[in-house]
Amino acid sequence: MYLPVSTSTSSVCWLPFPSIHRRKRVGELGRFMAFQDLREFIALLDKRGQLQRISTPVSADLEITEITDRVSKAGGPALLFENVRGYDMPVAINLFGSYDRMSWALGVSTLDELGARIKKWLDLVQNRPPEGIIEKARLLPDLAELTRIGPHTVSHAPCQEVVLTDELSLDKFPILQCWPQDGGKYLTLTMCHSKDPETGKRNIGMYRCQVRDSRTVGMHWQIHKGGAAHFRDAQAHATKRMEVAVVIGADPASIYSASAPLPPGVDELLFAGFLRHKGVEVVQCKTVDVKVPAHAEIVLEGYVDTDELQPEGPFGDHTGYYTPIEPYPVMHITAITHRHNPIYATTIVGKPPMEDAYLGKATERFFLHLLRVVLPEIVDINMPIEGGFHNVVVVSIRKRYPGQARKVMCGIWGMMLMMLSKFIIVVDENVNVQDLHEVLFRVGNNVDPKRDTMIVDGPVDALDHSSPYEKFGSKMGLDATAKLPEEGHPRPWPDDIEMSPEIKALVTKRWAEYGIRL
């Protein structure tokens, strides 16, 4: 059931909420009305007691990080710093920093529900077209809605209420110096827009942008990412001026989509439209040929000179370590547009758990179903927060033939950004991968290290500091499944210890009689 939630603006959004009333079904996609912008999301968090406003004066220089880190680690609320010393703009942070907030951002009540939505559509496309007139008719509202989830262009946009082309400066934004050894201030919760020079297709990635001076920022798109691919393509096309835009603060599904490792060429705003059940409105930028979410808070427009690389870093990263100075492209800002009274949205990364953990968990839930398209034996996946997502991947499979665990490892290493997975642990279908105690129990018992580990060389995360070379190193797969004779296990595999169901039922029935208190 979904109840209308009024927000600080005049509009109303629908969110999951228990109710005795039944709403008319308007298609699977239509049960939820999208957040128009960041403000509606913040208003909802406030309403649900998940937003703390801080009016005490604070500094954007390290102090907000320390406060937010403590709140993050304690599982606390989103924060709105209303009085940042030296600035007249509030800082919103930790907006996505819990399972609940992350789910609400994407219009679901749990992240598993998000997975189920993705699964439903993949099933439809993959192997179960509707049969019979009734089933087909039932799908019509969903199909109709699918036609409405693409982005559409508007001519007037809140994000252009204020347009600065001459007197522009980043100095008025409360951009954080996150950690003591950082090379400066960084925009972090970004949506970096770029375009394929050949097809014009857009990519949006969440890449940090280091403030170099009041009109230029570093573009930290790592070598494996969409922005870097566009940069290389622009170089190959001898395009000197690559037009880009960096958006800060949009509707939460759009922000999340920038962080999601979508298949190359899949439009982040189309995905956001799918998540929010409604197309994202976009507007043409004022000085570059790029379209950005119309309801964004702040937009930086500009270009990257494809001949220019400048030192970027150091930065206290999501690995929990500082990343060193490396050469990266630079964006020259040609315009800054923003709403009246913009909200500056940001995040900090560092030792987990932090806000980005929940963005990653949302991705894990939808990625499970993408993986299953090519690896249907996968039952569940867990990328533990401590592993910074790609460092450790635990996956359970329905094993039916020798070597299947290894096939799954290779499949994962071949799937887009999952190529960066450093340790893949494969367990049998009956193992709960979300329970790391159980995973360790199986690894300890089921792995013969010499036989059951597979070490391969390949691409590693640009942030990895353990590989001898940058971006190239080794990964390890651990096969913790029960072994078959054909896998070099001629001995019988023992059964798990399980009590018989009759005795379990008996003891449950008689439990009170024993007088044992647990």
Q: Which residues here bind ligand FMN, judged by CB under 6 A?
A: 188, 203, 205-208, 220-222, 225-227, 259-262, 347, 349, 356, 359, 417
Q: Which value, to the nearest 10 degrees, does the dihedral of the CA atoms of residues 5, 7, 12, 14 take?
A: -30
Q: Are strands 51-54 and 78-81 parallel, antiparallel or unpaired?
A: parallel
Q: Rounded to an integer, what distance in angstroms lies between the CA atom of residue 317 and that of residue 220?
A: 12
CA dist., res. 280 & res. 256, Å (int):
13
Q: Rule CB under 5 A: choose which of 151, 226, 249, 384 binds Mn ion.
A: 226
Q: Residue 249 binds which one of Mn ion, ligand FMN, none, with CB within 5 to 8 A depending on kind? A: none
Give the whole-angstrom CA distance, residue 67 versus residue 44: 22
Angle, in degrees to the nearest 10, between helices 252-259 and 355-374 = 70
What is the rounded CA–CA span in Å between residue 419 and residue 367? 13
Residues 6+ apart with CB under 8 A from 28: 117, 120, 141, 142, 145
Nearest approach, Cβ of residue 75 and ligand FMN (Å): 18
The interface partner of residue 359, options being ligand FMN, Mn ion, none and the CB cut-off 5 to 8 Å by kind, is ligand FMN
Backbone phi and psi for residue 356, each to the nearest 5 degrees, phi listed first: -65, -20
Q: How far is the CB of 112 from ligand FMN (least distance, A)?
A: 20
End-to-end CA distance of the chain: 37
Q: Is 65 in the site for Mn ion (CB under 5 A)?
A: no
**DSSP state letter for 58:** B
Is residue 207 within 8 A of residue 219, CB to CB? The reply is yes
Residue 129 buriedness (CB in 10 A; 0-12 / 13-18 / 19+):
exposed
CB of 518 to ligand FMN, least distance (A): 41
Nearer to ligand FMN, 77 or 226 (CB): 226
Shortest Å distance, C-beta 336 to Mn ion = 24
Structure tokens, 203: 């990519």
Which sign does the torsion angle of CA 261, 267, 269, 271 carry?
negative
Measured from the CB atom, is 30 or 316 closer to ligand FMN? 316
Catalytic residue among 233, 317, 356, 464: 317
Phi-psi region of 312 (alpha: psi -120 to 50; beta: other; left: phi over 0): beta
The distance of closest approach from Cβ of residue 217 to ligand FMN in the complex, given in angstroms and rounded to an integer, is 11
For the segment 446-465, give every residue that binds Mn ion (CB under 5 A): none
Given ligand FMN, Mn ion, none, residue 221, with its beta carbon under 5 to 8 Å by kind, binds ligand FMN
If the CB atoms of residues 30 and 352 are measured against ligand FMN, the closer one turns out to be 352
Nearer to ligand FMN, 30 or 314 (CB): 314
Dist CA 435 CA 425 (whole Å): 13
Amino acid at 504: K
Instruction: Give the residue with the Cβ less far from Mn ion, 44 or 258.
Output: 258
Does 227 interact with Mn ion (rule: CB under 5 A)? no
Cβ atoms 92, 82 nearer than 8 A: no
Residue with the two structure tokens 């096309």: 237
Partner from ligand FMN, Mn ion, none binding residue 347, C-beta < 5-8 Å depending on class: ligand FMN
| Nearer to Mn ion (CB atom), residue 226 or residue 384 | 226
**Least Å distance between CB 272 and ligand FMN?**
12
Per-residue x/- marks for Mn ion, 241-280, CB under 5 A?
---------------------x------------------
396 binds, among ligand FMN, Mn ion, none (CB under 5 to 8 A by kind): none
- What number of other Cβ atoms are within 10 A of residue 234's Cβ? 22
- 3-state DSSP helix/strand/coil percent for the chain, to nearest 5? 30, 25, 45
Is 428 marked active-site? no
Nearer to ligand FMN, 354 or 478 (CB): 354
Pairing, β 472-479 against β 453-459: antiparallel
Side-chain half-sphere of 65: how many Cα atoms within 13 Å? 20
Residue nearest to Mn ion (CB): 226
For the bound state, the minimum distance from the C-beta of residue 230 to ligand FMN, rounded and expressed in Å, comes to 9
Site for Mn ion in 177-206 (CB under 5 A): 203
Minimum Å gap between C-beta 368 and ligand FMN is 16
Q: Which partner, Mn ion, ligand FMN, none, binds residue 206 by CB below 5 to 8 Å per kind?
A: ligand FMN
Show contacts with Mn ion in window 351-390 (CB under 5 A). none
What is the spatial distance between Cα 335 and Cα 244, in angstroms, rounded to a whole number?
11
Q: Computed over its alpha carbons, how large is the radius of gyration of the chain?
A: 25
By the rule CB under 5 A, 404 interacts with Mn ion? no
Residue 252 partner contact from Mn ion, ligand FMN, none using kind-dependent CB cut-offs of 5 to 8 Å:
none
Work out what residue 344 binds among Mn ion, ligand FMN, none; the CB cut-off runs from 5 to 8 Å by kind. none
Of 258 and 397, which CB lies nearer to Mn ion in the complex structure?
258
Q: Which residues bind Mn ion (CB under 5 A)?
A: 203, 226, 262
| Active-site annotation, residues | 317
